[in-house]
Amino acid sequence: MAMKCAASSAVRSLLSSSSSAFSRNLHAQGEKKKIVGVFYRGNEYAKSNPNFVGCVEGALGIREWLESLGHQYIVTDDKEGPNSELDKHLPDTHVLISTPFHPAYVTAERIKKAKNLELLLTAGIGSDHIDLKAAAAAGLTVAEITGSNVVSVAEDELLRILVLVRNFLPGYHQAINGEWNVAGIAHRAYDLEGKTIGTVGAGRIGKLLLQRLKPFNCNLLYYDRLRMNPDLEKEIGAKFEEELDAMLPKCDVIVINMPLTEQTRGLFDKNRIAKCKKGVVIVNNARGAIMDTQAIVDACNSGHVAGYGGDVWPVQPAPKDHPWRYMPNHAMTPHISGTTIDAQLRYAAGVKDMLDRHFRGKEFPEQNYIVKEGQLASQYR
């Protein structure tokens, strides 16, 4: 607990201090900016933890700093439709901050409406809620806080793997419903040891997951457009697979760790899912739209997929009647894996640093750019 407090204190000190440097600034330095933040609402939990900065009420902990510099800071959770609070403020917004957990969908239409817009910032990682081609064409900069919540997401993936492989959820429901039926759990509960686990994508999160799986003595596979450094590959004990469709039938567990792009949207359709081993467990904390929604439902209903878990949905918030809420053997939650308190402090500090760089007309760290000078980052091309 002492270590956690120390870490939180260190990050909070970064939030309260001045930073340094962003890419190109379209307006004169020193100009007062209008910044709009779109976050989920904390409601009754807003004051429960002083480090709960990722909600509307917490406002990333940067309101006092921004206003002390003379900037206007509007924070809302109202983001849907032309009459939303977001749309009301778009015409004179200079900087728009959003998160993957309650995304402001920045369409080409909204970009046209935002005549003063300079910068789109993602508080977290994953900027597919933005029409990146339209942003590039409009000369906007898009950036995110690379690495801010990769540990959080990798830990959550490991949690969901264990929950599904060990068939935890039926036992939990028995406990709260006053039932006791060991057979109803044990008939499809397995050890993780000795199972083959493959990650589709081995970037920052995928590598962290593989490292965390190593002590479980699993057979580890990965598919990615880039092969790992041989020393790291040997240290983790993971085997590179050149073809996705060749890896899938080998896996007892498949974890999705790739960005949502034009190429990956709907990648796991009914044909690709059919190539997976019968009884496979799939965990997806990447993006919901990488999956064909109905194909996952059908595969879970038929038993071809023994369990599907994740925190990402094709549209967020997910509608109440979304079929993933009701399919069997799922471990779905709202989009939460990357917004732990620790992650919030990291991405809030990152947002402050990036805004400070923007105000000073300085460059961002190169890895944080998603769109820069009309060019998309390589993972989105």
Question: Residues annotated in the binding site for NAD(+), as ranges?
Answer: 204-205, 224, 259-263, 285, 311, 335-338
Alpha helix (H) residue ranges in 81-238:
85-89, 108-113, 132-137, 150-165, 168-176, 183-186, 204-213, 230-236
Give the Cα separation of 251 and 280 in Å (integer). Answer: 7
Q: Which two tokens stand for residue 178?
A: 């006053």
Q: Which two tokens stand for residue 134?
A: 């339209």
Query: 168 near 143, Cβ under 8 Å?
Result: no
What phi and psi, each to the nearest 5 degrees, are found at residue 348?
Answer: -65, -45
DSSP-assigned beta bridge partners for residue 220? 197, 238
Residues placed in the known binding site: 125, 149, 204-205, 224, 259-263, 285, 311, 335-338
Assess whether 287 carries a catalytic annotation. yes
Give the Cα separation of 166 and 182 in Å (integer). Answer: 13
What order of strands is seen across the sheet that includes strand 141-144? 72-76, 34-38, 95-98, 119-122, 141-144, 369-372, 375-376
Nearest to 289 by CA among 309, 254, 316, 326: 316
Q: How many residues does the chain have?
A: 381
Catalytic-labelled residue, pool 129, 160, 287, 357:
287
Give the helix/strand (H/E) hosting 222.
strand 219-223
DSSP-derived pairing of the beta strands 196-200 and 34-38: unpaired
Give 335-351 as a DSSP string: S-TT-SHHHHHHHHHHH
Catalytic-labelled residue, pool 89, 94, 330, 335:
335
Burial class (CB in 10 A: 0-12, 13-18, 19+), 353: buried
Catalytic-labelled residue, pool 25, 71, 94, 149:
149
CA angle 355, 124, 252 (to 5 degrees): 165
Helix axes 2-16, 341-360, angle to 10 degrees: 20
Residues placed in the known binding site for substrate: 125, 149
Assess whether 149 carries a catalytic annotation. yes
Give the Cα separation of 300 and 217 in Å (integer). Answer: 27
Q: Which two tokens stand for residue 124?
A: 């977290």
Assess whether 41 carries a catalytic annotation. no
| N-to-C CA span, the chain | 43
Catalytic-labelled residue, pool 25, 167, 284, 316:
316
Q: Which residue has the tokens 């490292």?
A: 211
What phi and psi, each to the nearest 5 degrees, are found at residue 330?
Answer: -110, 155
Active-site residue list? 149, 287, 316, 335
